């Protein structure tokens, strides 16, 4: 009986060891970091702070051989960051997104805010081509957090 118990213990230990040594096991793959940023203020200094943070994240994980997925969600007055006609950081948006490979940077513009701005201003609100429109910025942030993304509000 003792020999059987020892044999089973050794077999279990070997099975555990082999599971961690198996190629393609989750532990063997580099982690992809997923970070969501909120921008809700029409403040060029804050917009630049967010973009500096994104650049630093991309540089850090690239130096470690890891990837990052970053999404900046703009709503309320922060939507001005993604407006094609008013963004004080328009050139940086394009530069950061195009230079992020192999990582990815996405920009999400709040559709609710756009509708409200269009009513107030009386014309369609142009968004930079790098951005996509989502139904609601706060809903998008909620979805990202529920999917395990790290949330940062500068």
Q: Are 82 and 109 in contact (CB under 8 A)?
A: yes
Angle formed at CA 111 by CA 52 and CA 87, multiple of 5 degrees = 40
**pLDDT of 8:** 44
Tokens 């969501």 sit on residue: 36
Task: Find out whether 105 and 96 touch, Cβ atoms under 8 Å.
Answer: yes
Give the pLDDT score at 134: 98
Cα 136 from Cα 138, distance rounded (Å): 6
Q: Which of 97, 118, 108, 106 is nearest to 139 (CA)?
A: 108
Structure tokens at 104: 């990815």
Q: By the 8 A CB rule, do 148 and 154 touch?
A: no
CA distance 72 to 56: 14
pLDDT in tens, the chain (154 residues): 555 445 444 444 444 444 334 444 444 457 899 999 999 999 999 999 999 999 999 999 999 999 999 999 999 999 999 999 999 999 999 999 999 898 999 999 999 999 999 999 999 999 999 999 999 999 999 999 999 999 999 9
Q: What are the strands, taking DSSP E only, across 97-154?
A: 104-110, 131-134, 150-152
127: tokens are 């968004």
In this prediction, residue 31 carries a pLDDT of: 82
Tokens representing residue 9 in the block: 């213990």
What pLDDT was estimated at residue 87?
A: 98
């Amino acid at each position: 009986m003792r020999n059987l118990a020892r044999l089973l213990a050794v077999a279990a230990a070997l099975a555990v060891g082999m599971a961690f040594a198996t190629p393609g096991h989750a532990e063997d793959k580099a982690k992809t970091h997923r970070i969501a940023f909120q921008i809700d203020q029409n403040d060029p200094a804050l917009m630049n702070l967010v973009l500096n943070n994104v650049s630093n994240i991309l540089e850090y994980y690239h130096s470690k051989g890891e990837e990052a997925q970053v999404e900046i969600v703009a709503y309320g007055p922060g939507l001005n960051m993604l407006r094609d006609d008013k963004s004080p950081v328009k050139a940086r948006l394009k530069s950061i997104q195009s230079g992020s490979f192999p990582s990815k940077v996405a920009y999400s513009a709040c559709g609710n805010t756009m509708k409200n701005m269009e009513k107030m201003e009386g014309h369609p609100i142009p968004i930079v081509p790098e951005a996509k429109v989502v139904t609601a910025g706060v809903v998008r942030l909620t979805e990202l957090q529920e999917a395990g993304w790290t949330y940062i509000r500068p």
